[in-house]
């Protein structure tokens, strides 16, 4: 337990450092330019923290009921795409003037890395919770679960970035949301660009998460 808490404390420091760096770069930009257009990045980062904190709550509890895991898992899956979604905020670099271009890229990348890191930590912890519960029995099934979730994140990112849907629209406008979701499957050939984005984003997330997971394992087992 002490080892778990120590590891978690180190993780919190890393998350805090990345968050502070992102917010500092944004605050400095707004202070100098008096331009508040990118203030929404704070909101996007807040949304990325939600699935992470959901799973941290489960990990710190001695025992978790099946109902608790299922309900938390549904909400977690609905909000998880918000974490890697921040990568797509890089499109806003097109609004930067030439003298601010490099700074703007660094700032947007810092937010993207923070969101991606939060999402990967959240997915890793959810996999651990399900494995401890006995719902995932082998490393192969764990990888299958993780890659499936990342593919769904790629799908969710398309829904958010291109179709402009939000996580809470599942409750507010479920009929229209499910119609748009189903349309991608019913008419796949007329949505080739959509599937190209979804598959490329899913593949990107899977590859980067695999590197993240392997590096984590090596770090834990290193002398």
Tell how far CA 175 is from the center of its chain.
Answer: 25
- pLDDT attached to residue 221: 40
- pLDDT attached to residue 209: 97
In whole angstroms, give the CA distance from residue 33 to residue 186.
47
pLDDT in tens, the chain (223 residues): 555 566 678 899 999 999 999 999 999 999 999 989 999 999 999 999 999 999 998 887 777 888 999 999 999 999 999 999 999 999 999 888 888 999 999 999 999 999 999 999 999 999 999 998 899 989 999 999 999 999 999 999 999 999 889 888 888 888 888 888 888 999 989 999 999 999 999 999 999 999 998 876 544 544 3
In whole angstroms, give the CA distance from residue 65 to residue 84.
28
Q: Which residue has the tokens 């974490």?
A: 83
- pLDDT attached to residue 219: 44
The structural domain count of the chain equals 1
Find out whether 76 and 38 touch, Cβ atoms under 8 Å.
Answer: no
Length of the chain: 223
Question: Which domain, by its residues, includes 100?
Answer: 2-221
Q: Which residue has the tokens 């770090």?
A: 219
In whole angstroms, give the CA distance from residue 91 to residue 116.
16
């Amino acid at each position: 337990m002490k080892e778990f808490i120590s590891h978690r404390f180190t993780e919190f420091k890393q998350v805090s450092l990345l968050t502070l760096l992102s917010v500092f770069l944004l605050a400095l930009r707004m202070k100098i330019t008096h331009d508040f257009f990118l203030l929404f990045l704070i909101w996007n980062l807040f949304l990325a923290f939600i699935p992470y904190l959901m799973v941290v709550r489960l990990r710190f509890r001695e025992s978790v009921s099946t109902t608790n895991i299922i309900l938390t898992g549904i909400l977690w899956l609905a909000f998880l795409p918000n974490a890697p979604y921040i990568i797509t905020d890089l499109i806003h670099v097109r609004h930067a003037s030439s003298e601010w271009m490099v700074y703007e890229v660094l700032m947007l990348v810092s937010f993207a890395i923070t969101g991606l890191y939060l999402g990967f930590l959240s997915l890793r912890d959810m996999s651990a919770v399900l494995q401890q519960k006995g719902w995932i029995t082998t490393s192969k099934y764990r990888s299958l679960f993780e890659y499936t979730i990342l593919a769904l994140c790629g799908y969710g990112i398309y829904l958010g970035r291109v179709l402009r849907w939000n996580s809470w629209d599942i409750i507010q406008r479920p009929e229209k949301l499910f119609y748009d979701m189903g349309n991608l499957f019913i008419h796949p050939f007329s949505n080739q660009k959509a599937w190209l984005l979804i598959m490329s984003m899913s593949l990107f997330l899977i590859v980067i998460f695999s590197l993240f997971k392997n590096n984590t394992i090596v770090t834990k087992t290193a002398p």
